[in-house]
Amino acid sequence: MALNNLALNAYFTRTEQGFKLLLDDLAFSRGEQRWGDVRLALTQQAESAEVQEQWLLSADRLDLAPLQPLVAGLAPLPDKGLALLEQLKPHGALRNLQLDYRPRLSDGKRLQFSANLERIGFAAYLGSPAAENVSGSISGDLGQGELRLDSEDFSLHLDTLFPKPWVYQKANALLTWQIDEHAFTLRSPYLRVQGEEGPVAGDFLIRLRVDPTQEDYMDLRVGLRNGDARFTEKYLPSRAPGMSADLDAWLKSAIRGGAVDEGYFQYQGSLNKGAENAARSISLFFAVHDAELAFQPGWPALREGRGRVLIEDSGVRVELAEGRILDSQVSDAQALIATALPGQPPRLLLTSELSSNVEDALHILQQAPIGTAETFAGWAGAGALAGKLKLDLPLRKGLAPAVVVDFATESAQLSLPNPPLQFSQLQGAFRYNTASGLSAPDIRAQVLGHAVRGKALAEGARGKARSRIEARGEIAVKELSAWLYPDVWRPGSGRP
């Protein structure tokens, strides 16, 4: 270990109780890095009949990163201590450091310390979180201690659950820890932060066992009020066991925006790798309004949604009291994504009441990826619809959805392009099923100026929709001929 350009001013005084050593303007270079200037004070009090031996060390400021190789090379640390130091990679600065060492004591009070923290950072270790820009004050001993956090640009990373750190503009918290021969326990009874998503509060407990055969445990709760739904991805536990990649990708793309009235994330259970899913419980909840949800690429997004989103071990449940798709009003909507079996894609099961119109219905049939674009190409219409929607959407590209729509209409208009045909005063109760086709037991309309009545029969099978329409009515031969052969004059009269 080579130190260059060592500089200091030393003052040594022997006293009746021991000695005092002051190192002022202490600095050195290691490679191209300069460390210092630091003031260190060491006071030794010798043991006597009245007092125990005591060593007091103080420093005005210590930059940690340059000290790491020095401590690893010179300090008498055990192998586990060196490995921990290498893993944590601490950096930042300690101010007003105070160490109180009493070698005669055998408990945790043998070494006591306190300091002010300035933008401290450290990496994750086992199940404990990584952190950056930790500022505040710390105090404790070998058995326990506390950290009072008061930070700006603070980040916390639970890398066993989340791929990205949680970053906050402001953070305040109280953290305490305990160390004994069985475990290291870190807890925070309150944690209050301000992020882009809004004000967040939480608490947690992490217990890491010394015995690797025993279970490491975490209990974490994070609550949000009056937040922004665009940032809910931040709290999706993408790395949690049991969270499928398909479901994670869908959640990240589906929640586009909105206002979060309240929400929370909760994790309880094992931190051990390879632990069974039953050893942990994960839940995520949001109550939202003005939400925008994109259920699937190619489908129109739901806007102005008001409801709740709940993610738990059994899957995802979305309950919407109201919302809009295109110009259609959606109410009493429920979406369920159950936890999929291994190797199977998760599926979105959606049911909803609709107050819609012919234009929106045709838009979906012509634009949504359900295989009906060619069949309904060129169709146009107008008029109100009321009905129910059922969707079964696989959350993996290349798999066909299943759609069932029940709708009823009165006095609607519909235009078909080939051959050109207009229906007016259209009424009936219809069902369209992508697996079989269009069906309706009783259809009534005006066609070519005359009343027509009929029905639609769905005759498709094995996912190939096919429909047959049977209709009856009276239309003048001249009018029928003019529709069938608009460019040919044919004499005739009567009604077919």
pLDDT at 87 over 70: yes
CB atoms near residue 201 (< 10 Å): 16
Nearest CA-CA partner of 128 in 96, 169, 150, 158: 158
- At 466 the pLDDT is 85
User: Are 280 and 272 contacting, i.e. CB atoms less than 8 angstroms apart?
Assistant: no
Tokens 């939480």 belong to: 202
Q: Which of 92-96, 161-165, 471-475 has the highest mean pLDDT?
A: 92-96
Helix/strand/coil (H, E, C) string of 153-206?
A: EEEEECCCCCCCCEEEEEEEEEEEEEECCCEEEEEEEEEEEEECCEEEEEEEEE
pLDDT averaged over the chain?
Answer: 88
DSSP states of 408-444 as a string? EEEEEEEEEETTEEEEEEEEEEEEEETTTEEEEEEEE
Angle subtended at Cα 482 by Cα 479 and Cα 484, rounded to the nearest 5 degrees: 110
DSSP-derived secondary structure letter, 492? -
Q: Which residue has the higher pLDDT, 139 or 337?
A: 139
Q: How many CA atoms lie within 13 A of 275 on its CB side?
A: 20
pLDDT at 77 over 80: no
Q: Using only the alpha carbons of the chain, give its radius of gyration.
A: 36
pLDDT at 177 over 60: yes
User: Are 188 and 175 contacting, i.e. CB atoms less than 8 angstroms apart?
Assistant: yes
- Three-state DSSP class for residue 279: helix
8-53 pLDDT, tens per residue?
999 999 998 899 999 999 998 888 888 888 999 999 999 887 888 9
Average pLDDT rounded to a whole number, residues 404-419: 89
Nearest CA-CA partner of 318 in 333, 329, 303: 333
Give the dihedral sign, CA 231/237/243/245. Answer: positive
- At 230 the pLDDT is 86
Token pair of 484 as six digits: 């069938």
187-209 pLDDT, tens per residue?
999 999 999 999 999 999 999 99
- Three-state DSSP class for residue 239: coil
pLDDT at 440 over 50: yes
Largest Cα separation within the chain, whole Å, is 135
What is the domain partition of the chain in residue ranges? 1-77+87-120, 296-496
Token pair of 235 as six digits: 């709290």
How far is residue 325's CA from residue 389's CA, in Å, rounded to a whole number? 12
Q: Is the pTM for the entire model greater than 0.85?
A: no
- At 3 the pLDDT is 79
- At 486 the pLDDT is 63
How far is residue 250's CA from residue 485's CA, in Å, rounded to a whole number? 51
Average pLDDT rounded to a whole number, residues 453-466: 86
User: Are 465 and 472 contacting, i.e. CB atoms less than 8 angstroms apart?
Assistant: no
- At 76 the pLDDT is 67
- At 493 the pLDDT is 46
Give 339's contacts (C-beta < 8 A, 6+ positions apart): 242, 244, 313, 314, 315, 346
| Per-residue confidence band for 73, with pLDDT thresholds at 50, 70 and 90 | confident
Q: Tell which phi-psi region holds residue 141, choosing left (phi > 0), alpha (psi between -120 and 50) or beta.
A: beta
In this structure, the dihedral spanned by the alpha carbons of residues 391, 395, 396 and 397, taken in order and rounded to 10 degrees, is: 50
- At 78 the pLDDT is 76
| Per-residue confidence band for 416, with pLDDT thresholds at 50, 70 and 90 | confident
Nearest CA-CA partner of 354 in 301, 434, 408: 408
Total residues belonging to the chain: 496
User: Cβ-count burial of 419 within 10 angstroms (0-12 exposed, 13-18 middle, 19+ buried)?
Assistant: exposed
User: Are 284 and 248 contacting, i.e. CB atoms less than 8 angstroms apart?
Assistant: no
Average pLDDT rounded to a whole number, residues 250-266: 89
Tokens 């002022």 belong to: 24
Percent of the chain with pLDDT over 70: 96
Q: State the alpha helices, DSSP H only, in 187-301.
A: 245-254
